[in-house]
Structure 1
Amino acid sequence: MLKKKITKILVGTNNTGKLKEIRDLLPKNLKIYSTSDFKIKSPIENGKTFEENSLIKARYFSKKSKMICLSDDSGLEIDVLEGAPGIYSARWGGKKGDFVKATKKVFKELNKKDKNWRIKKIKARFICALTIYGPNQKTINSVGKIEGYISPSIKGENGFGYDPIFIPKGKQVTFGEMKASQKYKIDHRFKAFKKIKKFF
């Protein structure tokens, strides 16, 4: 087991939305670094699962920075699309990770499957895999999931990525319509983080 708690960490992501969310989850007394502090570009993510990609990122950023790193790989799975976009969630937005483009692609694919999808409950879930990796550090993994449905239209300006089209189960609004403080209490990243926060 760990000899001591982690006191400083690199958040291994070049996604500013993700960086903000993870920073908000981490304890306030932790010294947090971002990849921009080291000018590190992102690695090629060639894993087959969220967990594999999360580990690839954590290991890569840790070795480049010589720091303990926390990396996240997350995405949206839609049942009728056989789990797509899944680990390719960001890549559906093209090279620039444009989520307006990615969201349009989700709607286009759903239209191909079923013209009437907007009046049905299209089951989906957000998944987040977190990995802590670093020198003299036991590798720690956790996964969080939140079930929900695809909104028939884009709603809300908050959050990032697919948040404006995801309605969590039991709610009437999308993540994009929620205040960050509401979303953070229930989302996939929070659920994954809850499992590892004892290490900080």
Structure 2
Amino acid sequence: MKKISKLLIGTNNKGKYKEIKDLLPKHIKTYSTKEFKLKSPKEDGLTFKENSIIKSKYFSKKTNLICLADDSGLEIDLLNKAPGIYSARWGGKNGDFKKAINRVYRNLFRIDKNWQSKKIKARFICALSIYNLDKKIASVQGKVEGFISNEPKGNNGFGYDPIFLPKNKKETFGEMKSLEKYKIDHRFDAFKKIKKFL
């Protein structure tokens, strides 16, 4: 397969767009969905993978460009793997993650009043898929294991980063510098697997 030189990054999330762009090989010219004024499609898949394919296929067909789309989210074991594929929706219509984080804490307290004294296992999952007009080129999944922090910490990153403490680390994703986070996060893990298609 010849090298991809142009790629649409199928997301309307600024933080996600920046991280994907930073991870891509420099020779690839990237486009954002904003440049085409595209709204996101209805994500009615039941898995991260299905949703990432829905997005990459939709944006690819709308623009005639090869599209790389990501679907990712946070799974918390104590919450029965919620918010999972609904991670973004927990932030409501305007994607307010302060609201989403408060909802996580509310639900944790509802299930276990003493959750803060325990290690609450969680993981970030990222599914990436590349779609080229009529065919899926690749679809992969990456993840990073960790725990839920007792309170939000740090203003870096986006989404649930301030409450996610990766395994064997003392800082949340929200406290880490982006380059440090990129080296270990779920998106990087998925990227390692999809790199050979780029």
State whether TM-score is above 0.5.
yes
Q: Give identity over the alignment, percent.
A: 67
State the match for 2:25 in structure 1.
27
Deviation at 1:5, TM superposition (A): 1.2
State the match for 2:169 in structure 1.
171
CA distance in 2, matches of 1:136, 1:88: 27
Structure 2 gaps of 5+ residues are: none
State the match for 1:55 in structure 2.
53
Instruction: Describe the SS at the equivalent of 2:82.
Output: coil
CA distance in 2, matches of 1:103, 1:57: 25
* Counterpart residue type for residue 69 of structure 1: C
Deviation at 1:139, TM superposition (A): 2.3
Matched, 1:45 2:54: no
Instruction: Give RMSD over aligned pairs.
Output: 0.9
State the match for 1:144 in structure 2.
142
On the 8 A contact 2:129/2:136 being kept in 1, the answer is: no
Instruction: Describe the SS at the equivalent of 2:156.
Output: coil
On the 8 A contact 2:147/2:165 being kept in 1, the answer is: yes
State the match for 2:84 in structure 1.
86
Question: Residues 91-170 of structure 1: matches in 2 within 5 Å?
Answer: 91-135=89-133, 138-170=136-168
State the match for 1:13 in structure 2.
11
Q: Which runs of 4+ in 1 moved over 3 A?
A: none
Structure 1 gaps of 5+ residues are: none
State the Cα deviation string for residues 24-56 of structure 1 (Å, max 9, x = none): 000111110000111111100000000000000
State the Cα deviation string for residues 106-152 of structure 1 (Å, max 9, x = none): 00000000000011100000000000001365520010000000000
TM-score by length of 2: 0.98
